[in-house]
Amino acid sequence: MTFTEFENTLKLAAPDDSWSPLLQALWWDAKGDWEAAHEIAQSKEGTKAFDRLHAYLHRVEGDDWNARYWYRRAGATLPDQTLREEWEYLVREHL
């Protein structure tokens, strides 16, 4: 699936069950369901990719202190990208 094809699925009611949990979380985030995305991020705490997603979601929430904590756990730093740019980066990373 391409990034554009992924974006086009945002008009659907739910993400595809065959997608990875990380892609499903990013889909829920794009649909404005932070709680659903956050639940997925928390499901595998201690896994770098999930911790990185967790960091991004706390940045979306506006909790930079908590976001920095999760970026550190993921071995990353708070990016200087916009939230949209970071979301796109994460989606492309997991496609």
Q: Where are the domains of the chain?
A: 26-94
- Angle ∠(62,49,59) on CA atoms, nearest 5: 5
pLDDT at 92: 98
Taking the C-alpha atoms of residue 46 and residue 24, their distance in angstroms, rounded to an integer, is 19
> Which residue do the tokens 């995305």 mark?
37
Q: What's phi and psi for 91, nearest 5 deg? A: -60, -50
Q: Alpha carbon of 60 to those of 17, 53, 64: distances in Å?
A: 24, 11, 9
Q: What is the largest CA-CA distance in the chain?
A: 34
> To the nearest 10°, the Cα dihedral for 55, 77, 47, 30?
40
Q: What is the pLDDT of residues 39-91, one digit of tens each?
A: 999 999 999 999 999 999 999 999 999 999 999 999 999 999 999 999 999 99
Q: What is the pLDDT of residues 24-42, one digit of tens each?
A: 999 999 999 999 999 999 9
